[in-house]
Amino acid sequence: MTTTHQDKLQVGWREWVSLPELGIERIKAKVDTGARTSCLHTFGIEEFEKNGTPWVRFQLHPIQDDNNTTRVCEAEVSDIRTVRDSGGHETRRYVIQTKLCLGDLQYPIEMTLTGRDNMKFRMLLGRTAMNGRLTVDPELSFLTRLGGGEE
């Protein structure tokens, strides 16, 4: 069955999302069609084992322009891969899977963890997380209900 344009949720170039499995009720994400994989800007990444599988514990500042509010998260590592950023720099990053909540949609996405806290947005929502589910209107922002308006 083919998904039509009308079946997809329309989003703007930035949206409020939730990552409930990581305990993040609300984080502003840049909807980045130029990025293949979604990315979370983290720090203090520590690898550990849980039931014989690799996990990571990491911290993040979920609120834009606020380096005081910190969340500690844990997730199972699904991969470690080399990622090239828009500047052409390659880094090895942990990859996790977590549930994304955006409007009425809830589904698992793949997310890389990176230490780029100087970036304006703490999360980038990449193409693979959008495929078949979202259409982007780059002129608009905060179209989904999680919103609460622009800050």
Residue 143 lies in a domain: no
Residue 139 lies in a domain: no
Structural domain boundaries enclosing 91: 21-133
75, 60 in Cβ contact below 8 A? no
Paired tokens of 135: 């259409």
Residues 6 or more apart in contact with residue 4 via CB below 8 angstroms:
none
Does 74 or 6 have the greater pLDDT score?
74
Residue 55 lies in a domain: yes
112, 90 in Cβ contact below 8 A? no
Residue 150 lies in a domain: no
146, 26 in Cβ contact below 8 A? yes
Residue 1 clears pLDDT 90, i.e. is over it: no
| pLDDT at res. 4 | 58
| pLDDT at res. 36 | 93
**Environment class of residue 71 by beta-carbon count within 10 Å: exposed (0-12), middle (13-18) or buried (19+)?**
middle
93, 99 in Cβ contact below 8 A? no
CA distances from 19 to 22, 26, 52, 71, 97 (A): 6, 7, 25, 12, 10
Residue 83 lies in a domain: yes
* pLDDT tens track for 30-47: 999 999 999 999 999 999
Residue 127 lies in a domain: yes
Residue 148 clears pLDDT 70, i.e. is over it: no
The enclosing domain of 61 has a CATH number of 2.40.70.10
What is the arithmetic mean of pLDDT over 4-25?
91
Residue 95 lies in a domain: yes
What is the arithmetic mean of pLDDT over 94-109?
96
* pLDDT tens track for 102-118: 999 999 999 999 986 56
Q: pLDDT band at residue 5, thresholds of 50, 70 and 90?
A: low
Q: pLDDT band at residue 150, thresholds of 50, 70 and 90?
A: very low
**Phi, psi (degrees; rounded to nearest 5) at 127:** -60, -40
What's the number of domains the chain is made of?
A: 1
Residue 3 lies in a domain: no
| pLDDT at res. 7 | 84
